[in-house]
Chain A
């Protein structure tokens, strides 16, 4: 792929990650700017330090915002923002 095509592919993921970060900050009423959360940082326990109640809140928020139900998913989907992005937009998983 050309560098422009790679940038476009990266921008698609970064846009979804940005949308997820804004949703997390808004729904959980966090004091940080969404951009402070990195795509790869842990969310549950370490990192953003989400607990099980936060995760329940995010299940509802993700379904409302992205139309994706994650209720039966394992905790791995909360491994990072980028991992969540893979779930809400499976086209991101295609290699580029």
Chain B
């Protein structure tokens, strides 16, 4: 999921990455709305709110919203910065570091919310800031490593692309185009997964509250270790195959002698 980069990624790689990360983004967005009355995985609305608050002269809100937009932007910037600078040393770690940072941010929100949160406005603002930074990291990472084909924290682009693709599928020549069909599969899986995550978070929040963030961290941890696990399995398979070849060769030699 994280090992491959840009054009070397397969549809299956992108679907795996897209579904897992959009599931977590859906959970985070709904959780933040229920707890803090503000969204944390998309910033389009915040640009509109930013302008509206300037017009109203609510400078406190202007600063809060500006800092949230900046943190989402900086998360994306930081994720790609790590990807392009660390990949020369290790591609896996270049892709894993932003995810590790995201897990750290969300786990911090979970721990603070579960044990220390007093529901003050300042706490709400800071916790939302951390969540927006984490979502910026996730969106920047997935978009960067998938050549901009996987964006998981908001669905505006996905909904637009889906509309365009479905209209194209009214013509047979486009329906038969494998690349377009794969793109539709990817977008559909991201939308479905985001929605599922959002519903799951909405249904479970009242029972597990801030522990929901630990569930999200666990899912992101799966994304993180999946490649390590598959690499290990692949290595084991190669070793076993080599051993078998050596054993069969030895058998042949002993039989011949």
A and B assemble together: no
